[in-house]
Amino acid sequence: MEILWLSEEDVKASLSMKEAILAVEEAFREDGRGTAQMPPKSYLIYKKYNGDLRTMPAYLEGMDATGVKVVNVHPGNPGSGLPTVMALVILNSARTGAPTAVMGGTFLTNMRTGGAGAVAAKYLARKSSKTVGLVGAGAQGKTQLLGLAEIFDVETVKVADVSLDRCRALEEESRTFLDATFEISTDIEGVCDVDILVTTTPSRKPLVKDDWIRGGTHINAIGADAAGKEELDPAVLMRAKVVVDDVVQASHSGEVNVPLAEGLIAPEDIYATIGEVVAGKVPGRTNEDEITVFDSTGLAIQDVATASRVYKTAVEKGLGRRLPFL
């Protein structure tokens, strides 16, 4: 018996943002229909090293796809020349349980997260959206913009980061796929007057104030992915239609986790999951003036669905290396 090993380069050659969006949208739809299994992700916390390791299993019945992702988050890694996030995905046969492929999951994680933001904005942002604001100019800022550019006719991008060099780097990279006007700054308030706002920082205190957000704005809150993290003033959530990727996961590690713990919002203030919206069980945006928030924590179903597409494409292209297993 053999398994297919796919390196990060093999994955990059097998996955476009368009494909990532299609995979993630189908994963959300299955989740909304109740045909997906996804236990909560489990964490190992390394306080000594300011990092964590997460395991994320899932099964999508409709796609006949199953597997697990192992992923770390170590914010200090860039100082040692390593990515903050690194991941490995194992795909298995649902029929026998045998592993079929092992692949690098770092690029895949970035792409499926960008795809999730794009899918959420497709259902929750105004269709006429043309301006995007990015709070955080790291790798995920670029990938979020890449996803949004697949769905919307983006004309203006406003970027805020503590490092203007990172802003300039993001602009330079983004110009390879997007012909738009870029405005870069260290001022977060200045990037909030947009149609779609994306936050991608590891902040543990609100960065975006309530009075900076006008009616009709859609926000993709991406950065909060562990207990204690938050990027938005809780008052924003109190007047917004809040859609989460998973209620349990978001409640303990998403943008809503701190406001819920402090009693500023209640569980019933969460409008729906994105799966319920994509599956058509509840409407997404219903008027031009409402504020919508997508609380993205990152789901195993996104990883497995995207990895399944990568595997099929890689086999078709003859990529990867067959390794003996049994």
Would you state the structure tokens that stand for residue 123, as one six-digit string? Answer: 């259902």
Q: Quick one: what percent of the chain has pLDDT higher than 90?
A: 93
| Whether 138 and 208 share a structural domain | yes
| Whether 139 and 273 share a structural domain | yes
Q: What is the pLDDT of residues 108-149, one digit of tens each?
A: 999 999 999 999 999 999 999 999 999 999 889 999 999 999
| Whether 137 and 271 share a structural domain | yes
What b/e sequence results for 209-236 when a residue is b if at least 16 CB atoms lie within 10 Å of its CB, and e otherwise? ebebbeebbbbbbbbbbbeebbbbbbbb
Would you state the structure tokens that stand for residue 284, as one six-digit string? Answer: 């997404």
| Whether 191 and 237 share a structural domain | yes
pLDDT confidence of residue 188 = 96
- Has 69 been annotated as catalytic? yes
3-class SS of residue 227: coil
pLDDT confidence of residue 97 = 96
CB atoms within 10 A of CB 288: 10
Q: Are strands 85-92 and 65-73 parallel, antiparallel or unpaired?
A: antiparallel
| Whether 56 and 81 share a structural domain | yes
Helix, strand, coil % in the chain, rounded to nearest 5: 35, 30, 35
| Whether 99 and 118 share a structural domain | no
| Whether 53 and 134 share a structural domain | no
Q: What is the CATH number of the domain that holds 118?
A: 3.40.50.720
Q: Is the C-alpha dihedral spanning 107, 93, 299, 28 positive or negative? A: positive
Mean pLDDT (the chain) is 96
pLDDT confidence of residue 226 = 78
Would you state the structure tokens that stand for residue 231, as one six-digit string? Answer: 């990027």
Q: H or E stretch including 21?
A: helix 17-33
Q: Would you say residue 269 has pLDDT above 90?
A: yes
Give residues with Cβ within 8 angstroms of 148, minimum separation 6. Answer: 117, 118, 121, 132, 154, 196, 198
Q: Which residues pair with 294 in a beta bridge?
A: 220, 243
Would you state the structure tokens that stand for residue 99, as one six-digit string? Answer: 């592993």
| Whether 45 and 177 share a structural domain | no
Q: What is the CATH number of the domain that holds 90?
A: 3.30.1780.10
Q: How many domains does the chain have?
A: 2
Mean pLDDT (whole number) for 240-257: 95
| Whether 93 and 142 share a structural domain | no
| Whether 275 and 314 share a structural domain | no
Of 41, 69, 158, 241, catalytic: 69
Q: What is the pLDDT of residues 214-234, one digit of tens each?
A: 999 999 999 998 789 999 999
Taking the mean position of all CA atoms in its chain, how far away is CA 243?
Answer: 13
Q: Which residues pair with 87 in a beta bridge?
A: 71
DSSP state, 100?
E
293 is in which domain, residue-wise? 114-298
Between CA 69 and CA 105 the distance in angstroms is 8
Q: Considering the entire predicted model, what is its pTM?
A: 0.93
Mean pLDDT (whole number) for 3-32: 98
| Whether 187 and 152 share a structural domain | yes
| Whether 54 and 148 share a structural domain | no
How does DSSP assign 66-81, residue by residue?
EEEEEEEE-TTGGGGT
Q: Would you say residue 1 has pLDDT above 90?
A: no
pLDDT confidence of residue 83 = 86
At residue 69 the predicted structure's pLDDT band, cuts being 50, 70 and 90, is very high
